């Protein structure tokens, strides 16, 4: 399915599920992994607003799969343990809106520009790579489950009082011109404790942000318009 096909199927599902949450558990942390996340998070927010229970600190688009993939691919190229690699991935959760900040990787890594461009493209298109490898038998499942579990475990740790828990997530944001944007977040008992922002980035990464913003804005608007036009 294309992301447009996905939108048509998943928009209604997400709107119905989040309406049930807004009515029955309005204080809950809502983590949405249903694609296209760039649109399903605006849908979730608008549904919560309609019910008068919107709290932007408790609505998360789960983009952890991009982080996990970036960590794995960098580790593979550098002969590192992927569990010890951390690449922040910002922006959105589709194609060129996925922006891995390899300049901020810990431990610090360097790649020549051609290798960096290839690596970035592989992270952005990893979902398609899996679909092609499975040759019609489906899309990423195990890695998606792992990423979802990792994010939720982090959130639960933070709710239970663990300090210093940081994960990237697609949330309501003032970091760019986009009303939603993924950046590293400090998580706490009430959800987002602090948006850690974009930080210092390379000119290559700046250019990727500039190129991603129009697509992100369109996806966000599509989600918001869907809720506006719902019967």
Distance separating the N- and C-terminal Cα atoms of the chain: 26
DSSP state of 86: B
- Report the SS3 class of residue 106: strand
Angle, helix 64-78 to helix 113-124, in steps of 10 degrees: 140
Site of tokens 């809106």:
97
User: Which DSSP helix (H) or strand (E) runs through 213?
Assistant: helix 203-228
CA distance 216 to 220: 6
- Report the SS3 class of residue 195: strand
Q: Where are the beta strands (DSSP E) in the chain?
A: 30-32, 59-61, 89-91, 98-100, 166-172, 180-188, 191-195
Contact 176, 209 (CB under 8 A): yes
- 186 φ, ψ (degrees, to nearest 5): -85, 120
CA distance 91 to 147: 17
CA distance 220 to 180: 7
51 is catalytic: no
Which of 93, 124, 147, 176 is an active site residue? Answer: 93
Residues marked as catalytic: 93
């Amino acid at each position: 399915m294309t992301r447009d096909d996905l939108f048509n199927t998943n928009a209604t599902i997400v709107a119905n599920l989040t309406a049930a949450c807004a009515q029955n558990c309005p204080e809950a942390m809502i983590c949405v992994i249903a694609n296209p996340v760039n649109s399903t998070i605006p849908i979730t927010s608008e549904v919560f607003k309609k019910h008068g229970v919107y709290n932007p600190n408790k609505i998360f688009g789960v983009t952890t799969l991009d982080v996990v993939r970036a960590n794995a691919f960098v580790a593979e190229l550098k002969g590192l343990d992927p569990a010890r690699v951390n690449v922040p991935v910002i922006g959105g959760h589709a194609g060129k809106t996925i922006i891995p900040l390899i300049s901020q990787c810990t431990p610090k890594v360097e790649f020549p520009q051609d290798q960096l461009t290839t690596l970035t493209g592989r992270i952005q298109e990893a979902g398609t790579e899996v679909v092609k490898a499975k040759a019609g038998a489906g899309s990423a499942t195990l890695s998606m489950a792992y990423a979802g579990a990792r994010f939720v475990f982090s959130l639960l740790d933070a709710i239970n009082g663990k300090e210093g828990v940081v994960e990237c997530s697609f949330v309501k944001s003032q970091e760019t011109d986009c009303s939603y944007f993924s950046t590293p977040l400090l998580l706490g008992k009430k959800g987002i404790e602090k948006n850690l922002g974009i930080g210092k980035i390379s000119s290559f990464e700046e250019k990727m942000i500039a190129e991603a913003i129009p697509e992100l804005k369109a996806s966000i608007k599509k989600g918001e318009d869907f809720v506006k036009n719902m019967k």
